[in-house]
Structure 1
Amino acid sequence: VFTKSNYCVPICQNEMHFGADPSPVPFLLHQAWLEHHSRSLGLFIDGKFVCPADGRSCSLADSKGSIVCSTACAEEADISQCASSAVNGFKSWSSLSCNQRAKVLLRLVSVLGQHGQCFSELCELCEASCSTAALVRLLQFYSSWAQLRDTLLTDWTPVGVVAVVTSKDCSLYSLLLKVLPALAMGNSVVVVPGQSTAPPVLLLAQLFTGAGLPAGALNVLTGSDITLGVKVSQNHSISYVNYSGNKECDGVMLCKATAGMGVPVSVSPCIGAICPFIIFESADINSAVDEVMEAAFRKKKEVFWVLCVQESVVDSVVAHLRLRMAKMKCVTLHSEADRERLDAAVQEAQQLGATLVQSCADPTSGAQYPSTVLCGVAPSSPCVVNPCPGPLLPLMTFRSNTEAVTLGNHSPHGQAASIWTEDLTLALETARSLSVGSVWVNSHSISDPCLPVCGHKVSGTCTDGGQEGLYQFLRPSSSSPPLPRSSPVSMDYTQFGTEASPPIIPDESDPARYVSPQSHLQFVAGKACKSVSGCSVAVQSPGGGGGVLAYCPDGGRKDVRNAVEAAIKVQPGWMKKSPSARAQSLYSLAKGLESKRRDIAAAINTQTGLSMDEAEKEVELSITRLSIWAAYCDKVQGGSLPMPNSGSALSIPEALGVMGVVLPDKNPLLSMVTVLGATIATGNAVIMVPSQKYPLPALAFIKVLQSSDLPAGLVNVITGSRDQLTVALANHSVIKAIWYWGSAEGCQYLQYTCTSPLKTLRLCKDQEGKDGELNWTQCHPSFLEEMWRSAVQWKSVWIPTA
């Protein structure tokens, strides 16, 4: 019989002493992993860790300044070895079936179940925000797309070796949002992570290999700065480069360094954007203030929030902010230099009339600062335009919905916005009007891989997430890569496009037999007109031996300026038209082309030397192409997305804005109407530069435009020197995208120049008579879909229901 005296003691002893150390220390798996590598992490190449060629490394410290480990610094020899491994890895990985690739991604979910704690601890140590649950969700989502690639994305093929480059402050989640879809589509990936995310990425690469990923399909190169990313991108084995980070100058450096190499570069500066947090009078003020406190004053912010409050509730919002901030402590900054910048910003705002709401007294010294709200600042205030890192929240007021949209669109960034109102109609109307890629209604900073994330304005040129984000890692099977890899051309960028047009010399033939060539007009702001300069260029007959066929205007920078001004006025209204209304305008344009088919076929025959039968065939194909784009208008749209949490989400395709197009020489009419249809069907306005060699078919098409019901200024046609007009388009800040068919020098100039402000580029080199030249007569579905997707940007709207 057991009594209390003889059974309590052993049990207590078991609880206190069994398996216990006199001074217990928690067992940390990430420490064991780091110790296993002697706290010196190498490069991950061809499925294993390797030492760098020269043995250089750099130290990684935690938030307290303690050294966590050292990471290797890759050099040229390491990059070459990695590129070779990635090419072999691509062959192995892409040759697997969709089902086999999906199984590998799903297998990693099981592997994470075993090593998830180590991964989470390492992410926390390195301050690389990505939970195991978020990673599992990414793997499950993209494994499904890996399974369905050949079923739902037919006629698309992987681009090859993808380089994913990030800055040191880019989150691990943002990096994986690019790596996993690239792998799911069958590409191999070379990751160049920021220093802080390098250890978790190296651990994941090791786990991927253990899950069955072929050696070389995922490689990791580490270094100290963006220079490594530039060197990797310049390697000729790389097919596509995707940069994500917080330093715009790093993305600019990457674009300029790869100009002329034939590698597409997408940039998404996802860190440091200025985003509006809009509170309407119909909002739940308590919930809105709770969330703005969490968004603005949390330890690590990826964006800078600007609070916009409707005037009728600003006093209530400020009172709630005072109450929430009363017990908050000072926030620790990275350095005392950040504190000095914050002090200067606050003092300047106060001089401009702002009032302060602070959580506690400002400490006299040290790298700490109280959470601060600056009430009553102006949109032009430095703390709004160029915010300092730290716990600082500017507050502006507005009276109406229109003013709220104006404030929200004031920033050059277009990453995200948060809207707070109980009026769903107001929320959706505001979301539609804001020029941002993500809108959260009565919530903020929600992310899920099924939502497309697309930066507007200067916030990026690529789309991540959802089905829309997969296409950057694919190309149509029916076409070859538009930019074959090559070496940059030696050129002076300041001199490109400055060559004067050849002078027109009077003809010395017999006056009695001389017939003056016809002088044509260009099309700007809905009117046929001469160029601003009044000059003309001669259009030569086919082969150049038959003399001058006609004269066309020699357009320049001022003509582009006038065309853009007209396009800006009309494009917002055209974008707001219903898709069916845009479709009817395109059908009408096709009907107008039908009525003038003989005249335009004659222009093609005269200009290019094609027979009348061939010219009429091109006109017929052009009519059909316009009809196809008219049908596209209301058929390919966004929709509602299935969300894992309670709520609804919408993906909405939107027009880019004003686009510039430099057309090719081949099929001068068919190429023109194909590109024209793609741009205006999606809601854009366009400035078109016809073929410098064969401009007459485009000039003949102006008569069709004049008789159409398209708004004046929506379509503009400017003739002249291709290079001069390319320079004018590239240097106009309003133009959002440029599609270019032309010389290698022109492609290189655009890649080097269109970085500030950032423009979306679609570049194709002229390859007349060579294999791989684009066949405009083929109407392959994937070719048209690629063009349609290049003419839109995506917006996601999240609406919680609970």
Structure 2
Amino acid sequence: MADSRTRKVRDIFDSMESGPTSSGRPAAQAWLQSHSGSLGLFIDGSSVCPSDRQTASALDSSGESVCSALCAVDEDVSACVSSSAGGFKAWAALSCHRRAQVLRRLAAAVQKHSQCVSEVCDLFQPPSSPAALVRLVQYHAGWAQLRDLSIPDWSPRGVVAVVVSDDASVYCMWLKVLPALAMGNSVVLVSGPQMAPPSLLLAELCAEAGLPAGALNVLSGSDVSLAGKVVASTGISFLTYCGNKQDGEALCRQTAGWCVPVALSTSPGSVCPVIIFESADIDSALDSVMEAAFKKNREYQWVLYVQESVLDGAIARLKVRMAGMKAVPLLCEADRALVDEAVQEAHRQGATLIQPCPPAPSGALYPPTVLSGVAPSCQAVVSPAPGPILPLMSFRGSGEGITLANHSPFVQAASVWTEDLTLSLESVKSLCAGTVWLNSLAVMDPSLSLSGLKEVGNCTDGGREGLYQFLRPSASPPLRCFRPSQVDYATFGAPSPMVAFVPGGSDSSSPARVYQHLVGGRQSKAESGCSKAVRSAGGALLAHCPDGGPKDVRNAVEAAIKVQPSWARSPSARVQSLYSLAGSLEKKSRELAASVQTQTGVSLEEAEQEVELSVSRLCEWAARCDKERGGVQSLPQSGSSYSTAEPIGVVGVVLPDSKPLLSLVSLLGAAVAMGNAAIMMPSEKNPLPALEFIQVLLAADLPGGVVSIITGARDQLTKALANHSVIQAIWYWGSKEGCQFLQSSSPLRRLWLHPEEQENGERWTRPDASLLEEMWRQAVVWKSLWIPTA
């Protein structure tokens, strides 16, 4: 073999070994040396490096210390948030054109320093291509230019906290920061020591591009407690996080009670199932899988599903392709123990190992490994270890393949390989993943929306849809921050002692009506057999309503699960059902107006106006059932991308005290119009209009189980909703203690929280398009489909 210094291209081609590479990372080393190997903070447009701060080491993939990063303290947090408040005023005051100019200059700066950006990304995290980052900046520069034209009646939230854990990618971090800036917010970027260098580099590039001082500040710390201190500074309007699930849940518990909306993207370690049907081009599919799993994209953990009829041929082709492959580096040496444990567990459960060479006893290198015949319950399938491991399973029919692919709760993206158009579209619709690639793998573009489902997160990043998390309706005032309360989560929502009814203790001359709630399309008493007295503002007994509990919620969820898939499949049927519901409501308008007047004490004229507006609101939702379903995205690659809005599934709604009928109809319409099933919890104070509305539901042609209405103690029903794993979203109007409980106990759900201290009823009567669009966006998740054409 020729010496490496004199090897020819032909020698490299014949041996299939890696060619010579340049030693070191000169641009990254020069940038680190300019900071004397000790990175500070970035506050108010410049780097600051106080001498009395503790430091944490930033390690490269081999575990060696490359530089140190400062750990911010309370004083730094206070200065940072104060600077961000001023930066928001300056940045938001600029025109859309001026903000877009700054972002375009940022794209030019990234191109100018592409070598440094690339080397810093490679040094600390999985590679992020400078070209991909430039495309990301340019895309959001366009949205900064078009914000007021394309997204009218929406305003920036204010100061946004972006928190990234050390195992997040640089691309994911930029996908949070750039849309926040493009929409006119200022950003406080909070990172761990590993992400401190790329975070500080981004801030310096933004300053070079002309971003106003304070519009982007960077703090670094040793753990997520720093992010909690940032939220506790009471200047933060929104918190978004990308990183591992454990730190994300800890952050939610730490920030619960401040009434700051939180969006989580727990993408590191997420699973990508690859389904190869017998009608696929097997060779192309296997080539792409091996490239992605063993060489190219290591952000996802890949799981391969092959149809049984072509399994033997696929395994034979894999063995041929893997022969002669060499061990590949892990992201860090600490991952070696996880990889060894995953492989040993799969082997014990009967999996066959396919490796080109045996692994070394230790070290950060591991050979590409296929685990053939692994069990569906194996940890390597449910939550694969971070390494060149490819679990392989077989399936018989298409339905079984989709079921196996949806088995893991950590699926963020999926890939389907088939030449059968009908099968591909059916598979795409059935897969529970935010992004689906058809006959392709790992296609990324900022115009593609990435929605988190199940354990992957509760927010949508990318595309037009990802912008709305950084905006609020202009007609809706920003939420005020509260300090956390002392909430005993163990006793929150505990059943209250039953109060016995004493015979002869009530007024027999005007017997109170006894209502039933609606569960699974039928009226029924509470499973507990208990009722609650409903009284007027003056204390007069009006009625008895069921005192529902966890068993009633479980019954409602079981009914919703059965009917929701068929309800979601037919938009035209939903249109007719909601128009039928509006007609039924109009026929009973007199009875409902009387109920609203009796319960709330408003005038009859005002009650009639609420009923009339409720009818109009239902007609609005009926008209939107088959509208606004997404569209085609323009991509720089050859191919087509489709973004579609899909229902969340089962939504739990805890209703406010104000406007008891109109709020019920508005939220019910938003949920079911998009194909969801809704479990409604009426106001504990004013439940009678909702109970009267049950007769309207029964007279309409909605399938039983699409809507359930359960009355009872609000905290007890809220806890029952939070404890049910099937409920994917909770819309809550109630106490700040209830908001705090939900943020702490259900961090990965899609929570839409409204403390009752900030609820005045104007939201429901104001005819503002952005408020209705906000409800609509809370009722959907987004799925992107990529179809190559060449």
**Aligning the two structures, in what range does the TM-score lie when normalised by the shorter sequence?**
over 0.9
Instruction: For 1:66 and 1:610, locate their aligned partners in 2 and report how far apart those are by CA, in whole Å.
Output: 71
Tell me what 1:280 maps to. 277
Residues 479 and 774 of structure 1 are in contact (CA less than 8 Å); yes or no, is this contact kept in structure 2? Answer: no
Q: CA contact under 8 A between 2:42 and 2:48: conserved in structure 1? A: yes
Q: Is the 8 A contact 2:383 2:410 kept in 1?
A: no
Q: Residues 269 and 383 of structure 2 are in contact (CA less than 8 Å); yes or no, is this contact kept in structure 1?
A: no
Query: What displacement does 1:70 show?
Result: 1.5
Label 1:364 to 1:662 Cα distance change in 2 as closer, same or farther (>3 A): closer
Which residue is 1:539 aligned to? Answer: 534
Equivalent residues in 2 for 1:489-500, closer than 5 Å: 489-500=485-496
Distance 1:510 1:47 in 2: 71
Residue 749 of structure 1 corresponds to 741
Identify which of 742, 765, 782 aligns with 2:755.
765
**Paired residue for 1:19?**
none
Instruction: Report if the CA contact (8 A) 1:526-1:712 is conserved.
Output: yes
Alpha-carbon distance, 1:361 to partner = 2.6
1:315 paired residue number: 312
Aligned residue in 2 for 1:671? 663
Amino acid of the residue matched to residue 531 of structure 1? A
Change (3 A) 1:71 1:337: closer
- Work out whether 1:518 is the aligned partner of 2:510: no
One-letter amino acid of the structure 1 residue matched with residue 404 of structure 2: L
Q: From 409, 412, 419, give the equivalent of 1:412.
A: 409
1:243 match:
241
Contact 1:504 1:537 in 2 (8 A): no
**Residues 122-141 of structure 1 aligned to structure 2 (within 5 Å):** 122-141=120-139
**TM-score normalised by the chain length of structure 1:** 0.93
Q: 1:372-426 CA deviation, whole Å, 9 max, x = no partner?
A: 1111122112321242232221111111111111011111123110111122222
Contact 2:273-2:411 at 8 Å conserved across structures:
no
Contact 1:501 1:537 (C-alpha < 8 Å) held by counterparts = no
State the partner residue of 2:78.
80
What does residue 627 of structure 1 align with? 619
Following superposition, the deviation at residue 334 of structure 1 comes to 6.2
Cα 1:428/1:612, change in 2 over 3 Å: same
Q: CA 1:288/1:503 → structure 2, altered by over 3 Å: closer, same or farther? A: same
Alpha-carbon distance in structure 2 between the residues aligned to 1:479 and 1:250 = 31
Tell whether the 8 Å contact from 1:328 to 1:371 is kept in structure 2 after alignment: yes
Native 8 Å contact 2:62 2:333 kept in 1: no
- 2:553 is the alignment partner of 1:567: no
1:331 aligned to which of 297, 303, 328? 328
What one-letter code is carried by the residue in structure 2 that aligns with 1:349?
A
Output one character per residue of 1:208-243: Cα deviation in whole Å (capped at 9) or x when no partner.
112111000011111222222222232211111001
Counterpart-to-counterpart distance in 1, 2:614 and 2:211: 47
Check 1:382–1:61 CA distance in 2 against 1; reply closer, same or farther (3 A cut).
Answer: closer
2:605 counterpart SS class: helix
Counterpart for residue 708 of structure 2: 716
**Contact 2:659/2:761 (8 A) holds in 1:** no
Residue aligning to 1:529:
524
Match of 1:788 among 757, 773, 776: 776
In 2, Cα distance between equivalents of 1:105 and 1:501: 60
Query: Cα–Cα, structure 1 residues 506 and 432, in superposed 2: closer, same or farther, change >3 Å?
Result: same
CA deviations on 1:546-589 (whole Å, 9 max, x unpaired) are x2111010000000000000001111111111x22211111110
Deviation at residue 318 of structure 1 after TM alignment: 0.5
- Three-state SS of the structure 1 residue aligned to 2:443 is coil
Correspondence list, 1:601-612, <5 A: 601-612=593-604
Q: Cα offset for 1:510?
A: 8.6
Structure 1 stretch displaced more, 427-436 or 296-305: 296-305
SS of the equivalent of 1:542 reads: coil
1:24-173 correspondence runs (5 A): 28-52=26-50, 54-173=52-171
Q: 1:277 to 1:665 in 2, by over 3 A?
A: same
Q: Which moved more, 1:388-397 or 1:775-784?
A: 388-397
Mapped to 2, the partners of 1:48 and 1:149 lie a distance apart of 28
Equivalent in 357, 367, 381 of residue 370 of structure 1: 367
1:202 aligns with 2:200: yes
Could you say which residue in structure 2 is the equivalent of 1:558? 551
Q: Which amino acid in 1 is paired with 2:61?
A: S
The answer to whether residue 700 in structure 2 is matched with residue 705 in structure 1 is no
Q: Distance in 2 between matches of 1:189 and 1:446?
A: 28
Contact kept in structure 2, 1:476 and 1:786, CA below 8 Å: yes
Matched AA of 1:197: M
Q: Counterpart of 1:250 in 2: which secondary structure? A: helix
1:92 and 1:149, CA in 2 relative to 1: closer, same or farther beyond 3 A? same
Question: In the superposition, relative to structure 1, how do residues 138 and 529 fare at CA in structure 2: closer, same or farther (>3 Å)?
Answer: same
What does residue 251 of structure 2 align with? 254
Distance in 2, matches of 1:525 and 1:258, equals: 36
Task: Write the deviation string for residues 163-183 of structure 1: whole angstroms up to 9, x where unpaired.
Answer: 111111111011101100000
TM-superposed CA distance for 1:774, in Å, is: 4.1
Alignment of 1:341-490 (within 5 A): 341-481=338-478, 483-490=479-486
1:417/1:436 contact within 8 Å kept: yes
C-alpha separation in 2, matches of 1:382 and 1:138: 34
Return the letter of the residue paired with 2:637: N
3-state DSSP of counterpart to 1:196: coil
Structure 1 residue 29: Cα displacement: 2.9
For 1:279-298, list aligned pairs within 5 A. 279-298=276-295
C-alpha distance in 1, partners of 2:434/2:152? 27
Gaps of 5+ in 2: 1-21
1:522 maps to a residue whose letter is: H
Query: Match of 2:779, as an amino acid?
Result: A
> Distance in 2 between the 1:784 and 1:472 partners?
15
Please tell me the residue identity of whatever aligns with 2:560.
A
Aligned partner of 1:661 among 644, 649, 653: 653
AA aligned to 1:490 is Q
CA positional deviation for 1:502: 5.9
Change (3 A) 1:616 1:460: same
Q: Residues 90 and 188 of structure 1 are in contact (CA less than 8 Å); yes or no, is this contact kept in structure 2?
A: yes
- 1:779 positional shift: 2.1
Instruction: Give 1:12's aligned residue.
Output: none
Q: Percent identity?
A: 58
Deviation for aligned residue 1:32? 2.4
Kept in 2, the 8 Å contact 1:53–1:78? The answer is no
Does the aligned pair in 1 maintain the 2:25–2:119 contact within 8 Å? Answer: no
User: CA-atom RMSD, angstroms?
Assistant: 1.9
Q: CA deviation at 1:543?
A: 3.0
For the residue of structure 1 that corresponds to 2:442, the secondary structure is coil
Equivalent-residue separation in structure 2 for 1:337 and 1:101 (angstroms): 42
Residues 141-168 of structure 1 show CA distances to partners (whole Å, capped at 9, x for unaligned) of 1111111111111110000001111111
In 2, Cα distance between the equivalents of 1:427 and 1:255?
38
Match of residue 15 from structure 1: none
Deviation larger for 619-628 or 455-464: 455-464
Count of residue pairs brought into register by the alignment: 769
Alpha-carbon distance between aligned partners in 1 of 2:506 and 2:449, rounded to the nearest angstrom = 67
Q: Which residue, out of 576, 591, 594, partners 2:583?
A: 591
Counterpart of 2:298 (choices 293, 301, 323) is 301
Structure 1 residues not aligned, in runs of 5+: 1-23
SS at match of 2:194: helix
Query: Cα gap change, 1:375/1:27 in structure 2, threshold over 3 Å: closer, same or farther?
Result: closer
Please say if residues 555 and 721 of structure 1, whose CA atoms lie closer than 8 Å, have aligned partners that are also in contact. Answer: yes
8 Å Cα contact 1:52-1:75 kept in structure 2: no
Aligned AA for 1:412?
P
Question: Closer, same or farther in 2 for the Cα pair 1:300/1:682, shift >3 Å?
Answer: closer
Offset from partner CA, 1:510-551 (integer Å, 9 cap, x none): 97x63321100000000000000110000002332xx21110
Q: CA deviation at 1:341?
A: 4.4
- Distance of aligned partners of 1:538 and 1:629 in 2 relative to their CA distance in 1, 3 Å threshold: same
How many angstroms does 1:493 deviate by?
Answer: 1.1
Q: 1:253 to 1:339 in 2, by over 3 A?
A: closer
